[in-house]
């Protein structure tokens, strides 16, 4: 027996964040952890003493396999930043009191760069008070904007969903014999990794998207309208991928441009359109072609029925590697993925000082964005291995089955 | 040899409309058809002499299997209604001239109730002029609003995508520890069959959607707001399915209520929100909870990566049955599906006079809609067999492969 473990999930969900939870759980159990607790709603829930004994909930190998295929954060999530240690030691003392009550020796937190801040602060505090609890970060985010790691678990599956759905939308958009403009809005306020995945649609059986706009580059509306005008004047239908986070030169988001609505609807509410809707309205009004807007919305982060096996496996592995490192007395670290070969694709895990990862946002390098509103082959080569292979959903009565446990009751 | 065949696709695409095309092609070929032509963009393309020799394009068994999994109308589509015969015989003479030039003996049209009007008029005209060309309709529509047939090919796969995605959205919506309202807009201007499929999300591993609104019933906004207020006041998150076609008592669509915008955005364009967006804005503004809108948009009609095997097979079968019937000298008919047993589910094809099907819209019976804003078990039992079983996509390099043929060049 190696002591008790607690694990939490934080930030926006992904399709594979529960595969990391499965990796933490299974590895900790296999390596002799006494108790494995799950925080409800991350560190915020823990502060309210909301936790469950995961061994009560995950009882069999099929539970593990269902958990790997269950979208969204199984334990619930939070968006909560711990205060600075110097400003509020009370919160930290409360957390450590709860951890000590539960005889926790190992603390795992699955999340993005904000969540890694939690690991940083807790491990800093543990040094301050001489606690021997080990704190390890497990990376996840569909946004792929975490520093140091080659990519983040969650990104590959979101990219695969985007590319696969884009192929279908392109087919759908070509069906009539007059030009239509389809503008697809993809998540990513500051980083364009997800939007770039739209480029993968192109292949022997698909002509691909026509234009791609990432938030790393200033969005020039006049130039955009010019490009659409040129292409559509040939009678060709177009599909355009645009990041929700594209901004014009003065720093405003494109979707904020529709914010000039003075009055509004029958009920006096302001009607804010999204980026794609705004652009589609503009194209329809000024160029006079049929334009439609599609938002992938939360589908891109929860489409567990279309995941990348590569991603699911890596998500599991970073969870397992975090446990292994903590059990070998590492703390204040994050597990990162290191690509050691491109062709064939091979990727291993390493651990890295959390201080060099927390709160840092990794964007798409500008040299991977082309001047003709597309992305480079280098960027496509970077993404493609991450969407490879499938883990079929376990279908029951016609629908994907997820792991069901009544988590509403904590211990 | 039994003479030449031509086949076209019309109206909105579905995920399985090409499975019907495969059924027509393969059955006609197996039964000795000399040439099998495909109209580009339906009857409208044919009038412009746009057609292809399908035998040049579909060369192997794997092509047939790829075609079954290829979304959208492979041959292209049109929204085109033939004139009344009495008003414009010229158009009809032109069509029959083209058919005679190509030595067509059998004409198949895959489409919904508008497309069946084309079969009705062409078969009527063939009787008028004593042509021996046989005209058969092959049903398809995600809307499931065709008369006589138990259901339409295309509906089951759209229903499966909606139910599967709804399960994922529900998980995603439960992740935080404060109430959120997710309003999902589903296609169906007049018939609520697709929206009803959201009810299938409920099961052992999913608490299901909370409220369902179909267009068959008047939408009472005050009542809706009251329901949302009641439920959200308990701290519970909610997921609500609403048809794009819901209307208030005075006959206006809900999405038209946001049409009162006088002036608009920075560029002077009217910003029209969808039904879900309109309701989400209203909920957020008046109840003060976090509300988000999701539109499935075209994804529900083109998500070929998540189809129902039952649907794919039935879509293939109605194509094949149309060929069989035509080759046995039937004309002016539509193939319909007849459910001969509910448990176990069994369904056969029959042919039916097109005059009793064309232009008729089948809605959800009011007795299948409950007073507490949901649907009955009877309706769920009706839908559930249609989403059963899967036809896995053929995955190549991480993405579903579709049949690719350069159709831009006609003969």
Q: In sequence order, what DSSP letters do the residues of B117-141 get, joined into one string?
A: HHHHHHHHHHHHHT---EEEEEE--
Comparing CA positions, the residue from A192, A236, A228, A231 lying closest to residue A376 is A192
Classify A363 as helix, strand or coil: coil
Alpha-carbon gap, residue B373 to B285, rounded angstroms: 22
Mutation site, B77, B172, B199, interface A, largest A CB count within 10 A: B172
Q: What is the rounded average pLDDT for all residues in chain B? A: 93
pLDDT of residue A113: 86
Alpha-carbon gap, residue B137 to B336, rounded angstroms: 9
What average pLDDT does this structure show over A286-314?
95
Burial of B12 (0-12, 13-18, 19+ CB in 10 A): buried
pLDDT of residue B406: 67
Closest-CA residue of A relative to B391 is A398
Instruction: Spell out the alpha helix ranges (H) of B41-153.
Output: 42-47, 54-57, 61-68, 89-101, 113-129
Comparing CA positions, the residue from A142, A145, A173 lying closest to residue A159 is A142
At A235, the pLDDT band (50, 70, 90 cuts) reads confident
Cα dihedral A252, A257, A263, A268, rounded to 10, equals -70
> What percentage of chain B reaches a pLDDT higher than 70?
94
Per-range mean pLDDT, top range of A172-176, A314-318, B56-60, B173-177: A314-318
Whether the CB-CB separation of B104 and B6 falls below 8 Å is answered with yes
- Asked whether residue B116 carries a pLDDT value surpassing 90, the answer given is yes
- Asked whether residue A407 carries a pLDDT value surpassing 90, the answer given is no
pLDDT of residue B96: 98
Alpha-carbon gap, residue A161 to A71, rounded angstroms: 13
Lateral strand order in the sheet of A104-111: A51-53, A36-39, A4-9, A104-111, A134-139, A333-342, A345-353
Tell the residue number behind the tokens 């159990």, with chain if given. A29
What average pLDDT does this structure show over A247-263?
76
Q: Which residues of B270-291 are buried (b: 16+ CB within 10 A; e: fewer)?
A: ebbbbbbbbbbbbbbeebebbb
Pick from B168, B282, B402: which is nearest to A167 by CB? Answer: B402
- Asked whether residue A359 carries a pLDDT value surpassing 90, the answer given is no
Distance from CA of A2 to the nearest CA of B (A): 31
What average pLDDT does this structure show over A130-144?
97
Count of CB atoms situated within 10 Å of the CB of A53: 15
Comparing CA positions, the residue from B139, B211, B141, B192 lying closest to residue B365 is B192
Q: Which residues of A touch B387 (CB under 8 A)?
A: 398-399
Alpha-carbon gap, residue A378 to A370, rounded angstroms: 11
Alpha-carbon Rg of chain A, whole angstroms? 23
- The count of CB pairs under 8 A between chains A and B is 243
Distance from CA of A273 to the nearest CA of B (A): 7
* Cross-chain Cβ contact B204/A404 below 8 Å: yes
- Choosing from B117, B143, B145, B210, the catalytic residue is B143
- Asked whether residue B411 carries a pLDDT value surpassing 50, the answer given is no
Mutation site, B40, B48, B76, B177, interface A, largest A CB count within 10 A: B177
Range of weakest confidence among A126-135, B43-52, B231-240, B301-310: B231-240
Alpha-carbon gap, residue B215 to B363, rounded angstroms: 9
pLDDT of residue A6: 98
- Asked whether residue A259 carries a pLDDT value surpassing 60, the answer given is no
Closest-CA residue of A relative to B236 is A408
User: Per DSSP, which regions of A71-179 are E strands?
Assistant: 104-111, 134-139
Classify A135 as helix, strand or coil: strand
Whether the CB-CB separation of B10 and B76 falls below 8 Å is answered with no
Q: What is the rounded average pLDDT for all residues in chain A? A: 93
Q: Is B56 a known active-site residue? A: no
Mutation site, B58, B262, B398, B407, interface A, largest A CB count within 10 A: B398
Range of weakest confidence among A26-40, A227-241, B305-319: A227-241
pLDDT of residue B409: 45
- Asked whether residue A201 carries a pLDDT value surpassing 70, the answer given is yes
| Residue bearing the bigger pLDDT, B98 or A177 | B98
pLDDT of residue A410: 43
Q: Which residues pair with B243 in a beta bridge?
A: B186
Range of weakest confidence among A160-164, A406-410, B45-49, B324-328: A406-410
Alpha-carbon gap, residue A72 to A19, rounded angstroms: 10
pLDDT of residue A262: 37
Alpha-carbon gap, residue B314 to B319, rounded angstroms: 9
pLDDT of residue A264: 43
∠ Cα B73 B74 B78 (to 5°)? 45
- Asked whether residue A144 carries a pLDDT value surpassing 90, the answer given is yes
What average pLDDT does this structure show over A253-257?
87
Tokens of B243: 């048809």
Count of CB atoms situated within 10 Å of the CB of A188: 26
pLDDT of residue A76: 95
Alpha-carbon gap, residue A410 to B271, rounded angstroms: 46
Strands A333-342 and A345-353: antiparallel
What average pLDDT does this structure show over A331-355?
97
Alpha-carbon gap, residue A210 to A196, rounded angstroms: 12
- Choosing from A88, A132, A143, A329, the catalytic residue is A143
Comparing CA positions, the residue from B43, B41, B182 lying closest to residue B99 is B43
Range of weakest confidence among A83-97, A110-124, B273-287: B273-287
pLDDT of residue A270: 52
∠ Cα A288 A290 A293 (to 5°)? 120
- Asked whether residue A61 carries a pLDDT value surpassing 90, the answer given is yes
At B56, the pLDDT band (50, 70, 90 cuts) reads confident
């Amino acid at each position: 027996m190696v002591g008790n473990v607690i694990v939490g999930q934080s930030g926006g969900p992904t399709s594979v964040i529960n595969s990391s939870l499965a990796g933490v759980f299974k590895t900790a159990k296999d390596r002799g952890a006494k108790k494995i607790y799950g925080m409800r709603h991350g560190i915020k829930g823990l502060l309210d003493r909301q936790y469950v004994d995961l061994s009560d909930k995950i009882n069999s190998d099929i539970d593990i396999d269902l958990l790997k295929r269950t979208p969204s954060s199984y334990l619930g999530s939070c968006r909560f930043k711990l205060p600075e240690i110097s400003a509020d030691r009370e919160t930290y003392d409360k957390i450590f009191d709860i951890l000590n009550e539960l005889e926790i020796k190992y603390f795992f937190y699955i999340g993005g760069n904000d969540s890694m801040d939690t690991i940083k602060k807790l491990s800093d505090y543990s040094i301050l008070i001489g606690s021997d609890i080990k704190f390890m970060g497990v990376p996840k985010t569909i946004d792929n904007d975490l520093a140091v790691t080659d990519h983040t678990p969650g990104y590959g599956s979101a990219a695969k969903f985007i590319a696969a759905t884009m192929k279908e939308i392109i087919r759908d958009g070509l069906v009539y014999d007059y030009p239509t403009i389809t503008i697809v809005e993809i998540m990513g306020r500051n980083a364009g990794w997800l939007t770039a995945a739209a480029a993968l649609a192109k292949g022997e059986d698909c002509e691909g998207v026509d234009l791609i706009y990432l938030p790393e580059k200033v969005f020039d509306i006049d130039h955009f309208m010019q490009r659409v005008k040129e292409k559509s004047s040939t009678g060709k239908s177009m599909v355009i991928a645009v990041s929700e986070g594209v901004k014009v030169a003065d720093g405003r988001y494109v979707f904020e441009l529709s914010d000039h609505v003075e009055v509004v609807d029958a009920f006096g509410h302001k009607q804010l359109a999204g980026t794609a809707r705004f652009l589609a309205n503009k194209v329809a009004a000024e160029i006079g072609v049929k334009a439609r807007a599609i938002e992938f919305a939360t589908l891109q982060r929860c489409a567990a029925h279309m995941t990348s096996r590569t991603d699911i496996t890596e998500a599991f592995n970073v969870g397992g590697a975090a446990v292994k490192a903590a059990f070998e007395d590492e703390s204040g670290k994050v597990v990162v993925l290191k690509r050691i070969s491109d062709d064939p694709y091979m990727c291993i895990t390493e651990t890295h000082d959390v201080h060099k990862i927390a709160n840092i946002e990794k964007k798409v390098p500008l040299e991977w964005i082309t001047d003709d509103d597309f992305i480079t082959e280098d960027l496509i080569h970077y993404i493609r291995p991450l969407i490879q292979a499938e883990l079929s959903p376990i279908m029951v009565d016609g629908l994907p089955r997820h792991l069901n446990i009544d988590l509403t009751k904590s211990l």
